[in-house]
Homo-oligomer: A and B are copies of this chain.
Amino acid sequence: MSAAEVLAGVDIVALRLSEEGVLQLLLIRRAQAPFAEQWALPGVLVNGRCVDASLDAAAERALHDKARIAPQHLEQVATVGNMARDPRGWSLSTFYLALLAPDTELQGDDLRFVALAEVLDGRLALPFDHAHLVVQAAERLASKAVYTSLPLYLLAPRFTVTEALAAFQASLGQAVQHTTLRGRLEKMKQHGWVLDTGAKNQPKMGRPQNLLEHRPQGAGGFIFDRSVLS
């Protein structure tokens, strides 16, 4: 069996929720050709010499080595493979959705966050088919936000209902009734996924907010049995 000449790698679509409630995408300035110096998704190649125990380990390595970041959630989205996506030839990319804590900071000027919306609507172009990967990852987040608690991984472990609302609305791209979200958080409390810290948070104005705590009891978010949409 001859060694197959396929270029295989993992790419990461890492998202952070900004203080303004907007999703931001992590980009890295490529050091090597092709597309050297351009801003692109962080990623690594997987090959015979690679030390990764598994593909998921390679994804974690990509985030850790390239950006010194540990995500709060990491899941595989899909794998694309064709002749056109890389000028070097037929290539495979298994890409992951990573959700980062809102206080994630970047070190080094070869890393930056950009508004996810700018990539989704084409205002900001990315090399390879990275824009397409971003679209699919964003769709994954949106579709899971409909019936799971996945957007909570965009928040700090302690969060307020208002912050949770921002996370869901940014993930879904549309408004959500706060009463609906409160009902879901109540349901999660009953299953130990969320608990009421007695603590309060005082905004600049208005009534203090209850501080909740996210306690995942399994992978991938709590699953509700209804859609959050009409």
Interface residues, chain A, with chain B CB atoms under 8 Å away: 1, 3-8, 33, 45-50, 53-55, 58, 76, 78-83, 88-90, 92, 94, 147, 224-227, 229-230
Residues of chain B within 8 A (CB-CB) of A49 are 5
Query: What is the distance, in angstroms, from A183's C-beta to the closest C-beta of chain B?
Result: 15
Main secondary structure, interface of A, reads: loop
Contact across chains for B225 and A47 when beta carbons are under 8 A apart = no
Please tell me which one of the listed residues B4, B50, B230 contacts residue A46 in the complex, with CB atoms under 8 A apart. B4
Residues of chain B within 8 A (CB-CB) of A90 are 46-48, 50
Chain B residue with minimal CB distance to A86? B1
Contact across chains for B89 and A92 when beta carbons are under 8 A apart = no
Contact across chains for A48 and B81 when beta carbons are under 8 A apart = no
Given A5-B3, A6-B6: A81 touches B225 (CB 8 Å cut-off): no
A147 to B76, CA, bound (A): 21
Residues of chain B within 8 A (CB-CB) of A46 are 4, 6, 81, 90, 92
Given A46-B92, A48-B5, A225-B230: A55 touches B79 (CB 8 Å cut-off): yes
Known: A4-B45, A8-B8. 19 other contacts (CB 8 A): A3-B3, A4-B5, A4-B8, A4-B46, A4-B47, A4-B48, A6-B47, A8-B92, A46-B81, A53-B82, A53-B83, A54-B82, A55-B79, A55-B80, A79-B79, A79-B94, A147-B147, A225-B226, A225-B229
Please tell me which one of the listed residues B4, B55, B81 contacts residue A81 in the complex, with CB atoms under 8 A apart. B55
Contact across chains for A58 and B81 when beta carbons are under 8 A apart = yes
Please tell me which one of the listed residues B5, B33, B76, B83 contacts residue A79 in the complex, with CB atoms under 8 A apart. B76
A227 to B90, CA, bound (A): 40
Chain A to chain B contacts (Cβ below 8 Å), 18 pairs: A1-B7, A3-B5, A4-B5, A4-B6, A6-B48, A8-B8, A8-B92, A46-B81, A46-B90, A53-B83, A54-B81, A55-B80, A58-B81, A76-B78, A78-B78, A147-B227, A225-B226, A226-B226
